[in-house]
Amino acid sequence: MTALQGIKGGKFIVVGRVGMDLSPVGRTQTEHATDMFVAMGGSSANIAAGLVKLGLSADLVTCISDDAVGRYCLNQLDNYGVGRTYVRTIQGEERTSLAVYETRVEDHQSVIYRNNAADFQMSLQDVEGVDYSQFTALITAGTVFAAEPSRAAALRAFELAKAAGIPIIFDVDYRPYSWPSPEVAADVLSRAGAMSDVIIGNDEEFGFMAGSIDKGLAKARDLASTNAEIVVYKMGHKGAVTFAGGEEITTGIYPVEAVKPTGAGDSFLAGFMAGLADGRPMRDAILRGSACASIVVSQPGCAPAMPNTDQLEMFLLDHPGAT
């Protein structure tokens, strides 16, 4: 099936991590915190939660540690309505990821704990145990490729999704701290991009894949003309350029007073997918993704800040035009 057909089917298998986010209450710096706001985190889990909040179906494939943090993540997946049939609890010293980040934009600090991350233990058996015929599209973010055995497992999931005839949606999501070297990252992310039907990344990420940031837009355009049906080239406050159906669609953003810089990409992807699943024109779907991103950066937390359909519609009524 085509990418649009798969997305309109509305049943997503999402590959990648779930974790716990800790944020100092208010605009407090982490080193002065006395109270923390706790929420589910992890790019893939955030995307899955965003999809479900917008009326779609999402199941997660990952590994978690056999401890209180892992059990917290399972409870949160249940709370958001994300399927966890393919979430495996592992024994050993690997741990579910923790992220400590501040609800502040100026001098924002984030501390990510991903040494011996449990999600990197996702194996070939984990992805080969998925019944891809029950889903209409696969989504993942680039971090899943940063280490073995997760890297080989994710690439195998791509192969199995293709064999099942469902499209692959790939958020580049390059995070240097997760990778052994930039050279390995460039090679692996480029391989993943070549297998994908929908590719979403920012200007720096496409530039990284191309070898230079000034070549990023050309890289996005090239991917759209070769293997990908839809490519979204995000430019932060400058909006995005989307390549789809032979068109180049330029869109802006919805300005808001941001309280943090995190979660925007995950929410954008969920909103964009929901817009396409609803049969909306490409430009409208992109703008709905942009609206979701603005909503999330204007509130504490990531998964909790993801809007449901009513909240998204109310935001759009109050913000009639993107700049």
**Number of domains within the chain:** 1
Rounded to 10 degrees, the C-alpha dihedral 262/267/269/275 comes to -160
Q: What is the predicted pLDDT for the residue at 141? A: 96
pTM more than 0.95: yes
What confidence score (pLDDT) does residue 142 get? 94
Q: What is the pLDDT of residues 114-140, one digit of tens each?
A: 999 999 999 999 999 999 999 999 999
| Predicted local distance difference test score (pLDDT) of residue 196 | 97
pLDDT band at 212 (very low <50, low <70, confident <90, very high): confident
Does residue 211 have a pLDDT over 90?
no
Given a cut of 80, is residue 93 above it in pLDDT? Answer: yes
Report, as an integer, the average pLDDT of 67-86: 98
Residue 317 forms part of a structural domain: no
Alpha-carbon distance of 281 to 278, in angstroms, equals 9
Which pair of structure tokens corresponds to residue 319? 């913000």
Residue 102 is predicted with a pLDDT of 96
What secondary structure letter does DSSP report for 35? -
Task: Flag whether 209 is in a domain.
Answer: yes
Mean local confidence (pLDDT), 155-168: 98
Q: Which of 147, 244, 149, 230 has its CA nearest to residue 193?
A: 230
Residue 318 within any structural domain of the chain: no
Confidence of residue 209 (pLDDT cuts 50, 70, 90): confident
> Is 319 inside a domain boundary?
no
Question: Does the structure show a pLDDT above 80 at 34?
Answer: yes
Rounded to whole angstroms, the Cα distance separating 118 from 188 reads 20
Is residue 321, in this structure, part of any structural domain at all? no
Chain center to CA of 263: 9
The answer to the question of residue 322 being in a domain is no
Residue 36 confidence class, pLDDT cut points 50, 70, 90: very high
For 103, the domain range is 3-307
Q: For position 281, what pLDDT does the model report?
A: 97
- Please compute the mean of the pLDDT values over residues 7-16 and round it to a whole number: 98
The answer to whether 23 and 37 are in contact (CB under 8 A) is yes
Q: Is 314 among the domain residues?
A: no
Measure the CA–CA gap between 201 and 216, rounded to whole angstroms: 10
pLDDT of residue 82 exceeding 80, the answer is yes
CATH code assigned at 246: 3.40.1190.20
Enumerate the β-bridge partners of residue 12: 58, 137
Confidence of residue 101 (pLDDT cuts 50, 70, 90): very high
Band of pLDDT at residue 210, cut at 50, 70 and 90 = confident
Question: How many angstroms separate the CA atoms of 294 and 133, rounded?
Answer: 34
Quick check: is 298 in a domain? yes
- The pLDDT of residue 16 is 97
